[in-house]
Copies of this chain bind each other. A is one copy, B any other.
């Protein structure tokens, strides 16, 4: 049994972590922290979990670390680095769901976010996208769990980029559509029901913080990638991201070769499902699961690929992927506790 602790359990990623770990056959949650709800039963804060756990939220102190094998940190960026520093100093492994440990190049992080207080730890951290960095994750002390948009965008684009098929210097466009849970549980006007329902809108156009994350990972895979343009949209639904990615190709490509490339790239990856050519992904088919569905279309002429992916932003885009990383780090089967069928409809 792996003993785990969760720092920051009162947001949607926190409660999703707790939910998934309760069903994981090889883990035991030792504690979940929350400053806001300290002392409260988790199932009072989240009525959905009533009768499933009698854990109470506690306040984080380093003393808690002795009782666990690994820690998930699910607090906002900036706060995360302070906690991760303590965990690392204590010698425990950690999977951080904030942005603080996703960037090797601290200058990119600092431009997008803020001054980093533990740049030396950030350099050692591993980007926790198992489909690309499995062996590094296995040995990592600190895993920077990817953002939800980057997970969807990188998985959909990677085979073309990694194979060197991207038209050199040409821009790559990521047009994403997300449900609202990605914005967290803090009430704001932008996430007030009546401001969202029946409304679809772009936001943070070309200025979202996930752009440098997507760009740095893709550019590290190939020098051919030009500008990465990223436009997120908010769609009136709880969960799910669809990313539609426009990839200009160096050379003409055939449908069969394209499909074969994706199928072989993800042949042994349990959570990427490459759809038959002509079938497109839907958030509906991945909701509640750790799957990333990928669909493909080739423009007439064969010089542009539209790669589309769908994920559940709270699972493959956050807590499910974090557990996938934990499984890998702990030498367990990568898919343990995560083979949950999507909830359809």
Residues of A within 8 A of B (CB): 12, 15, 19, 22-23, 46-52, 171, 173, 175, 177, 179-181, 185, 187-189, 191-203, 205-207, 227, 229, 231, 233, 235-240, 242, 244, 246, 248, 273, 275, 279-289, 291, 293, 295, 297-301, 304, 306, 308, 310, 339-345
Complex: A15 Cα to B178 Cα, angstroms = 26
9 closest A-B pairs by CB: A199-B284, A201-B282, A194-B345, A48-B344, A187-B187, A48-B342, A205-B297, A19-B341, A175-B175
A311 CB to closest chain B CB (Å) equals 12
Point out the residues of chain B lying under 8 angstroms from A345, CB to CB: 12, 181, 194-195, 197-198, 238-239
Point out the residues of chain B lying under 8 angstroms from A207, CB to CB: 297
B194 and A12 contact, CB distance less than 8 A: yes
Q: Which B-chain residue is minimally distant from A227 (CB atoms)?
A: B299
B193 and A300 contact, CB distance less than 8 A: no
Known contacts A193-B193, A344-B46; decide if A283 and B200 are in contact (CB<8 Å). yes
Give 18 pairs: A residue, B residue, CB < 8 Å, sorted on A. A48-B286, A50-B291, A171-B248, A177-B200, A191-B193, A192-B193, A195-B284, A195-B345, A198-B198, A198-B283, A199-B283, A201-B242, A201-B282, A202-B295, A206-B298, A229-B299, A229-B304, A288-B288
> Looking at the complex, which one of B227, B282, B339, B344 makes contact with A15 (CB distance below 8 Å)?
B344
A194 and B201 contact, CB distance less than 8 A: no
What is the total number of copies of this protein in its complex? 4
Known pairs A195-B284, A238-B345 / 4 extra A-B pairs, C-beta < 8 Å: A50-B275, A201-B284, A202-B244, A231-B306
B181 and A194 contact, CB distance less than 8 A: yes
Point out the residues of chain B lying under 8 angstroms from A246, CB to CB: 173, 229, 246
Q: Which B-chain residue is minimally distant from A175 (CB atoms)?
A: B175
